[in-house]
Structure 1
């Protein structure tokens, strides 16, 4: 304010330059907390500190800018003089020179910057409508029979996906729904391809895929029509668009996002080798259960036999009949186990040609039916034997059970594998054998082999 009448102002009315600059800086920061600006880079400087200093200008004005090193981690390009950019910045004042400047928070090429603004706006809109909510996410089938791929028919993405599926899950049928994945009209075409695949009801799961590229290249997957189409379908869909650092609106709406097209293929396909291992484990469990069940019923037969009194002749007949039942049961179990092993071997051989989900379910159901039939057969045989034992219990006073082993039989096994030795084809001198008798076991060594 100009002075008049030669009067001096009060000391509190006089600003120092530092105070003036400080208060102006405060006013600028309050009035302009964050702004988006667009302009051309000029006078770019990169000192040893790692900070960036430059000017942004348009046809009639310019402003100094500073981008500190800790804000440069998000940069996805190298700034250069003459480059048109969009910047998010705080307005401030460099007090040392009394010049106002922009403190840059993020920096993008002008085209990408505009697209990024549109991306964020659509993302917020759809999120507010609930299109990204976890409640709407659908589960993927464990063993999909038909897999649909929505992508370019000639791109690298489809080749990568087909290669992964062929290696991991060759039993699946793959259907490709070709579409443009970039350029004008690509968004509408992608949406139409998704709708077409949904209408045909051919697939258990979809893969929406495209290789990496710039934000402009991937923009079709950021269009609202694509997002709403993905949300409206009932078939589960996994997105595999771009590289790990690329995110699109389609990723947020999809039931699950994969970092790359290859990762999407691995996400929805089971590993056939792991399925075979689990199937083999199931077979071993079933065999152990059947052997234990047989042993329990044999022990029960032996216990009941001990309660049967004589006459001796009738007792011998009963024991022989019991042995016969036992041998029949053993033969039946061994035959069933052999049949199951053959079936499992056949399954393992055809697993690359057949649908694991269907075949595994079939085999499990078949095993369950055989297990029920097996238990019923044993129960009927034992009930019949018990009835005969009960009718003789009033006539017989003593019992002298003779089991298979007590009658002089023995079981020869290999100690390492516990497998029963039925012939000498795979034996040689020096092999270790274990001989099981009625009440003891003998460890022995093969000295020589005599064929009969």
Structure 2
């Protein structure tokens, strides 16, 4: 059919999209509403629905613009947006592509500050249990701030005036702008790695909230929390408050106040030493006076006026103990003398010489009896041995061989029967004075001969 009036869905959508894109009133529009269905995509894009009590529109904020946000968009938040309205061809819906976003009724930086403060507070980064005490007499003080500026000059002047013994090491950092937070983090980590810093001052001079914003960045807060050195936060003026102030071990309202916190005042130390010296002198003087009064009181006391009366009771007691000792010694000596006399009489009535004679006679009798028994046993055993020798001689085959007999061996065994031999057997004949090797030529039993 020629001149088909029907359009495809894609063609219609493209046409409508061109109309939207060509309308100048849909470019850079200002819209306010409430966020819902917020989706912070891993790619960095943010997708959400913008609504009021009557309508809603699908919206998107791409990563290039979303990365510039200081706060985190959340459901229910009222915002002020700028962006372009166009058609999303895939769904055919019109959509708002957001370029900027601001909280409605509250500043973006303030909102970001409150969000990060709440988040880090829930993690416990502000808890007092993590706060470390400052060293009373620091030898080395690190300072993270701009290399040029009033902050470093004020810190150096104050420390030199109050406690010139301390050494100051500057870790230069950018303290304002988009590169400030990474620079501050690097300087804190560098000071922490050095290992010789006793206390670290992190801060800068005053400025607007935008100027001080680097000290509200999460990366700076975590770097301060992770630092092993006690950290003093000194950002801006007394009325300025940053996230760094909450995380640091101590917060100073100004860089000058931070230097005063870091070191003691020389004049105050001198005055403290003098106070201690005066206190010691007063204590020593009072102690001497007290002990002198005590000595005078003792010297004028009744016992020291008549010292012999102090030890008179002990002398009398000593004399009594000596008398008891002498009497006890005499009693024991008398009893022992009586016992000795009784034992001497017993020894006299029982002569040890007679007992020695009796025992000697018994020993001689036993010796004589033992000698007779040994001689008798020896003769008995000698006779038994002689009889055994005669029997051995009588049974000794060598004695039999002396009379002309011999012994035949076959393969090392005695041939005691003709049945153990055969014609041609090799035998060994052992005589009295030697051996003869022979071969059996014939065998003869008692009744016949075998060849």
TM-score range, shorter chain: 0.3 to 0.5
Question: Whose radius of gyration is greater, 1 or 2?
Answer: 2
- After TM superposition, the score normalised by the length of structure 1 is 0.44
TM (norm. structure 2) is 0.44
